[in-house]
Structure 1
Amino acid sequence: MSKFIPLSIPNFEGNEKKYVNDALDSTFVSTVGSYVNKFEKALAQYLLVPNVAVCQSGTSALHLALIEAGIGQGDVVLVPPLTFIAAVNPVKYQSAIPVFIDCDDSFCIDPIKLRSFCEEECHWDGNQLSYQGKAVKAMIVVHVFGNMADMNAIMEIAHTYNLKVIEDATEALGTQYTEGEYKGKFAGTIGDFGCYSFNGNKIITTGGGGAITSNDPQKVDHIRFLSTQAKTDPVFYVHDEVGYNYRMTNLQAALGVAQLEELPEFVLRKQHNYDMYKQYLQDCEYASLKEFRPGTSSNKWFYSIEINRNVIKAPMKEIIQRIREKGIETRAIWGLINEQRPYRNEITYKITKASYYAERILNIPSSTQITEEDIFYVSEEIKGLFEEMRND
């Protein structure tokens, strides 16, 4: 194989080594150090929010958000089926009950079905929404692949039924509304809580790591407190609450400070590369490049093509393997969470589009370093392969 184009790899073009070496030289490599505070302040400045707490992962951010939102045993949380399972697992950590609501064409939770579930399946007493006698307290809204969910409709539903909104913006750092009620607002800064991830394949990375913000800065302070084992008195080790070892390390934060400096450039590259894919794939008869929500500026973290299953019948595993033989790494969209073993007995509501897209969506290379030559190569090879497969 003479060429290999990866799906999504990190990009270290800036001050990463300088800042990490500085953190090493300081000897503060764990959860105490100047870069932790620097990263939090820089993120808050970028997101236009007053307070951000950094933590070990996007998953831990979601868990802390659920704790701070008061979600506990037996509470119902409305969740999407078409996303990475880490978006839903923290609901189980809290012994709460996930109810899966279908997605719309953005792959994000469908506000039409969300509203119909609340109106038709639940009871509203003027203060508390309930489902089968259980309190419905929150929803987790995932901005899938950097595509902003329909927050206008979602927030209206949340306000109507007194629901906490936890935004999973782990894939959407840098995505924002450009028009409407939330013009200028970034993904993760509209609901009650916003959670971010800095995993290795995200638009910026700290290796692992995450962050959380809230519309209430004091809640972020409390989350930061919980993430460091809830030490009321760190000298005499007094703990008044159950805490967690969820704080980000100084080494990770040093990497994050450098990566955040490059984020605006990375977003521009992602957007430009998407436009090139759109140009080169526009004449493809057997797959189409998925659009992002109008009225938003997306970070375009992952690019997705929808395969025409009326013509291309091959299983996704075969498609991925045959593309890989061309030196191109691709990835199927996730298997539906409600079909995974830990969730097979949970409640689902009118899931049709999620099932449809699970069989048709393929992610194609989207690294910020990808060249126009590589984009052209990927596009031509995919078109050629589907041309071969149409008669299989």
Structure 2
Amino acid sequence: MQATIDFIRSAFNSQEFIPLHEPRFNGNEKKYLNECIDSTFVSSVGKFVEQFEQMFADYVGAKYAIAAMNGTAALHIALLLADVEQDTEVITQPLTFIATANAISYCGAQPVFVDVDKDTLGLSPQALREFLQQQAKVENGQCINQTTGKVIKACLPMHTFGHPCRIDEITAICAQWHISVVEDAAESLGSYYQGQHTGTFGKVGAFSFNGNKVITSGGGGVIVTNDEALAKQAKHITTTAKVPHPYEYVHDQIGYNYRMTNLNAALLVAQMEQLDSFLAAKRRLAEEYQAFFSKKNMHWVAEPSNSQANYWLQTVILNSQAERDCFLKATNAQGVMTRPIWRLMNELEMFKHCQHGSLSNAKWLEQRAVNIPSSVRL
């Protein structure tokens, strides 16, 4: 245990507190913020919003990117674009951040939890296939849950800690069952599966720029799609569904005040300029961790096959829950910040009633997985 703590301190060249993941502002952030302030366009109208959207779309290889105030808002809108509505269902994974399940609930829909794969930490195609074969039927072009009688509108896989799940298999299964795929790519900017960027496999994808992400504006999110009509609708409803007019205030449907501000976008333009260097630095750290943990009795999570991960949060898997708890206690007591993986969504009070299949892999990981310091080193 002490050897691990000493190694992490050596890797970050610090005897002070080492956070899990802190932001780096080493580029034009202050310059662009000052420019934004001087322009007086600090809200959702301004050149940096559109500049960031174009930069982001180009980077991930999507036709359209629509900037939102945070990743959860982006995910909420993405689900609405997939026609997720009151009293429908969305299949997702229990091993995820709360935003995934919350966004489903915002639509008035119900999450259904299926298991993850141990190697990707993301939604298991095999578990998805088995659940649908046992529980669902296709009727009039819709997937019906035979247990609840509700329409399964969408599947929402998440690329956990930046490691791509088997998204090609998931989209193929969902196509057979008439289910839309919405990707929770919040953690996976800079991650690729079979050479294609995460978030671009499904109907819609959503990313996050929270303060602990690879790039950040303190908050922020973005929706990506290749569908022009969906992109226009996303921009419309994230700006309160206001009908364009020189001075009249007319709104033609229920909308949301979700548009990213020009201030946030200014930060993100500067962060995008440094993204490649951030990713390269994180990969170098991953290589050092891999070399170290290969000599220890701990499993370090490497990028899955056919993938290029961004290594957003470096992860080790301990041999038992008791060992995990000792590791967490010892590291945090010595100022090296580590965190357990999330509590499973189906174990939280508000989702205990939700339908789920066997979640043995998710539970196994919940008891053993730990995130270790992953910041871009200066």
How far apart are the structure 1 equivalents of 2:57 and 2:123?
Answer: 26
Point out 4+ residue stretches in structure 1 off by more than 2 angstroms.
312-316
Aligned pair partner of 2:348 in 340, 348, 352 = 340
Deviation at 1:76, TM superposition (A): 1.1
Deviation at 1:129, TM superposition (A): 1.1
Q: Residue type of the partner of 1:343?
A: F
- Residue 251 of structure 1 pairs with residue 227 of structure 2: no
How far apart are the structure 1 equivalents of 2:80 and 2:323?
Answer: 44
Deviation at 1:217, TM superposition (A): 2.3
How far apart are the structure 2 equivalents of 1:67 and 1:137?
Answer: 10
Alignment gaps of 5+ in structure 2: 1-13
How far apart are the structure 2 equivalents of 1:215 and 1:103?
Answer: 27
- Residue 66 of structure 1 pairs with residue 82 of structure 2: no
1:34: which partner in 2?
A: 47
Deviation at 1:12, TM superposition (A): 0.7
2:162: which partner in 1?
A: 146
2:6: which partner in 1?
A: none
How far apart are the structure 2 equivalents of 1:322 and 1:219?
Answer: 49
Q: Deviations over 1:125-166 (max 9, x none)?
A: 362110131111101110000000101210110110111111
How far apart are the structure 2 equivalents of 1:129 and 1:275?
Answer: 43
Aligned pair partner of 1:208 in 219, 225, 248 = 219
How far apart are the structure 1 equivalents of 2:90 and 2:33?
Answer: 39
Aligned residues of 2:29 and 2:270 also touching (Cα < 8 A): yes
1:78: which partner in 2?
A: 91
Alignment gaps of 5+ in structure 1: 371-392
Q: Secondary structure at the match of 1:355?
A: helix
How far apart are the structure 2 equivalents of 1:49 and 1:74?
Answer: 31
2:276: which partner in 1?
A: 264
Aligned pair partner of 1:277 in 275, 278, 289 = 289
1:91: which partner in 2?
A: 104
Matches within 5 A, 1:193-204: 193-204=204-215
Q: Secondary structure at the match of 2:359?
A: coil
- Residue 221 of structure 1 pairs with residue 237 of structure 2: no
Q: Residue type of the partner of 2:139?
A: D
- Residue 49 of structure 1 pairs with residue 62 of structure 2: yes
Q: Residue type of the partner of 1:84?
A: F
Aligned residues of 2:324 and 2:370 also touching (Cα < 8 A): no
Matches within 5 A, 1:162-201: 162-177=178-193, 179=194, 184-201=195-212
Q: Secondary structure at the match of 2:20?
A: coil
How far apart are the structure 1 equivalents of 2:334 and 2:374?
Answer: 16
How far apart are the structure 2 equivalents of 1:277 and 1:112?
Answer: 30
Q: Residue type of the partner of 2:72?
A: T
- Residue 313 of structure 1 pairs with residue 322 of structure 2: yes
Q: Deviations over 1:14-35 (max 9, x none)?
A: 1111111110111111111110
Deviation at 1:86, TM superposition (A): 0.4
Aligned residues of 1:190 and 1:215 also touching (Cα < 8 A): no
Aligned pair partner of 1:156 in 169, 172, 182 = 172
Deviation at 1:3, TM superposition (A): 2.1
1:293: which partner in 2?
A: 304
Aligned residues of 2:324 and 2:368 also touching (Cα < 8 A): no
Matches within 5 A, 1:104-115: 104-105=117-118, 106-115=120-129
Q: Secondary structure at the match of 1:167?
A: strand
TM value normalised by structure 1:
0.90
How far apart are the structure 2 equivalents of 1:217 and 1:9?
Answer: 36
Deviation at 1:215, TM superposition (A): 2.7
Aligned residues of 1:227 and 1:247 also touching (Cα < 8 A): yes
Q: Deviations over 1:78-114 (max 9, x none)?
A: 0110010101111111111110011111110111010
Deviation at 1:315, TM superposition (A): 6.0
Number of corresponding residues? 361
How far apart are the structure 1 equivalents of 2:242 and 2:333?
Answer: 53
- Residue 125 of structure 1 pairs with residue 139 of structure 2: yes
Q: Secondary structure at the match of 1:232?
A: coil
Deviation at 1:348, TM superposition (A): 1.0
Aligned residues of 2:64 and 2:231 also touching (Cα < 8 A): yes
Q: Secondary structure at the match of 2:197?
A: coil
Aligned pair partner of 1:240 in 252, 258, 262 = 252
1:136: which partner in 2?
A: 152
- Residue 369 of structure 1 pairs with residue 362 of structure 2: no
Aligned residues of 2:318 and 2:324 also touching (Cα < 8 A): no
Q: Residue type of the partner of 2:338?
A: T
How far apart are the structure 1 equivalents of 2:293 and 2:253?
Answer: 55
1:380: which partner in 2?
A: none
Q: Residue type of the partner of 1:293?
A: P
How far apart are the structure 2 equivalents of 1:269 and 1:233?
Answer: 44
How far apart are the structure 2 equivalents of 1:241 and 1:89?
Answer: 23
Deviation at 1:300, TM superposition (A): 0.9
Aligned pair partner of 2:130 in 88, 91, 116 = 116
Q: Deviations over 1:295-314 (max 9, x none)?
A: 111111111100012xx735
Q: Secondary structure at the match of 2:133?
A: helix
- Residue 360 of structure 1 pairs with residue 368 of structure 2: yes
Aligned residues of 2:168 and 2:201 also touching (Cα < 8 A): no
Q: Secondary structure at the match of 1:149?
A: coil
CA RMSD after TM alignment:
1.4
Aligned residues of 1:331 and 1:363 also touching (Cα < 8 A): yes
Q: Percent identity?
A: 38
Aligned residues of 1:270 and 1:300 also touching (Cα < 8 A): yes
Aligned residues of 1:233 and 1:239 also touching (Cα < 8 A): no
